[in-house]
Amino acid sequence: MTLAPGDRCVEDLLRDAAPRVLGALVRRHGHFDECEDAMQEALLAAAVQWPERGIPDNPHAWLSTVASRRLIDQIRGEVARRRREETDFERRPADRQVERPADEVAQLGGGQDETLTLLFLCAHPSLTATSQLALTLRAVGGLTTGQIAKAFLVPEATMGARISRAKQRMKAEGASFALPEARDWPDRLRVVLHVLYLIFNEGYTASSGSELERADLAAEAIRLARAVRRLLPEDGEVAGLLALMLLTDARHPARTTEDGALVPLAEQDRARWDRGAIAEGTALVSKAMAHSELGPYQLQAAIAAVHVEAAGAEDTDWPQIRVLYQILERISPNPMVTLNRAIAVAMTDGPRAGLALLEPLEADARMAGHHRLPAVRAHLLEMAGDPVAAREAYQLAARRTDSVPERRYLAERAARLGEVEH
């Protein structure tokens, strides 16, 4: 099977295989940082070779073998260096240990979900919350350092340094590859859910590139959320996150035109929405909110449910959405929540009321350079009947986004307002 360079099939296979192969390597060798480096080298080799030579019959085994060989080479090199420095020949048993056939690492079966275990490993308590999230997005979510940096609203160099420090910290702590004890789950779970949330968001609306979505990432986030829920079926926030993903992803079929152009929520053909996912998501969040302590994922899922339950955009229960955002902002304040609440306020109290809520966000460093703030401001200014200011805001938002479909949509909105002016 010969593939053209850059074929999407290769990219999809690599993203699907990488966390599972990495999990097997860490379980076998126990050194996360060395294993992650070896895995990256194997992925690079595959990205170069597979498009030219074709995809191997067993991609997982191929990656495992190549990564394991890289890892063994690294270990041998380190052992040789130490021998030269210390002339300590008692290390020979360690040499024999690492020379086991790479085929052992290629065996990726077993009852335990390697990817899920890797998720909890990356949420190790010795790491800061930001490092936990960044490392997991890299190792499990398959996001690049640049994509992770954009998700955290920091420079790419800063995020790269954080990921490197996180790996070194895990090495120093001797973190083991195993699911944590039950008493350690609450803290780890909070990070795991946040990671899955960010992975899903990147999949549902890609931060950069020519496509609006990365369906593979969204699907993987949903798969992992289901796996976590199987472990904690009574946890309200686990159910809430899964519900949020399902209710949001249900709109996927109507979000783009045939040529990949973005279709905003108000203009989507709701007959194309996935009613099965909507029913499952609605049932999940309804049960969670009735029987669990209220949390941010449940609230976001409830907001998504209100949107998808409306027969048309004009039927949306904006007063209810406004109340839900008020509660969400109280228990989990952040600028993105305020941004979304401003839209709900604009729909209930008028665009000027919504614009007033945006003013404090201008001084929020977390929103500096983010395209969503001028995009929302443009929309509200357009609603308020100020096409000149709205056009400028749309143009600013278009310049700030790295997503081609979003940039095209924002530029088209600006151009249409320019025609209205004349």
Tokens of 265: 């929520």
pLDDT at residue 308 in the model: 96
Q: Classify domain 317-422 by CATH number.
A: 1.25.40.10
| 5 CA to centre of own chain | 26
Asked if residues 380 and 394 have their Cβ atoms less than 8 Å apart, the reply is no
- Residue 254 pLDDT greater than 90, yes or no: yes
- Of the candidates 351, 407, 361, 349, the one whose C-alpha atom is nearest the C-alpha of residue 381 is 351
> 98-107 burial by CB neighbour count: b if 16+ within 10 A, else e?
beeebeebbe
pLDDT at residue 83 in the model: 53
Percent of the chain with pLDDT over 70: 85
Helix (H, G, I), strand (E, B) or coil at 262: strand
pLDDT at residue 401 in the model: 94
pLDDT at residue 141 in the model: 72
Model confidence over 281-302: pLDDT tens digits? 999 999 999 999 999 999 999 9
- Residue 82 pLDDT greater than 70, yes or no: no
Q: Residue holding tokens 């966000």? A: 361
Q: Among 44-48, 104-108, 355-359, 405-409, whose mean pLDDT is lowest?
A: 104-108
Tokens of 206: 């890609």
Q: Where in the chain is the domain with CATH 1.25.40.10?
A: 317-422
- Residue 125 pLDDT greater than 70, yes or no: yes
Cβ-proximal residues to 347 (8 Å cutoff; 6+ apart), any chain:
316, 318, 321, 322, 354
Q: How far apart are the first and last CA of the chain?
A: 55
Whole-number Cα distances in Å, 349 to 15, 302, 303, 326: 45, 21, 18, 14
pLDDT at residue 107 in the model: 38
- Of the candidates 335, 299, 305, the one whose C-alpha atom is nearest the C-alpha of residue 317 is 305
Helix (H, G, I), strand (E, B) or coil at 208: strand
Whole-number Cα distances in Å, 216 to 143, 191, 207: 12, 21, 14
pLDDT at residue 420 in the model: 57
Tokens of 274: 């996935």
pLDDT at residue 103 in the model: 38
Mean pLDDT over each residue of the chain, to the nearest integer: 83
Please, which pLDDT band fits residue 98 given cuts at 50, 70 and 90? very low
- Residue 118 pLDDT greater than 90, yes or no: no
- Residue 421 pLDDT greater than 70, yes or no: no
Model confidence over 299-347: pLDDT tens digits? 999 999 999 999 999 999 999 999 999 999 999 999 999 999 999 999 9
- What is the amino acid identity at position 226? R
Average pLDDT over residues 43-70: 81
Strand pairing partners for 262? Answer: 256
Q: Residue holding tokens 């296979």? A: 13
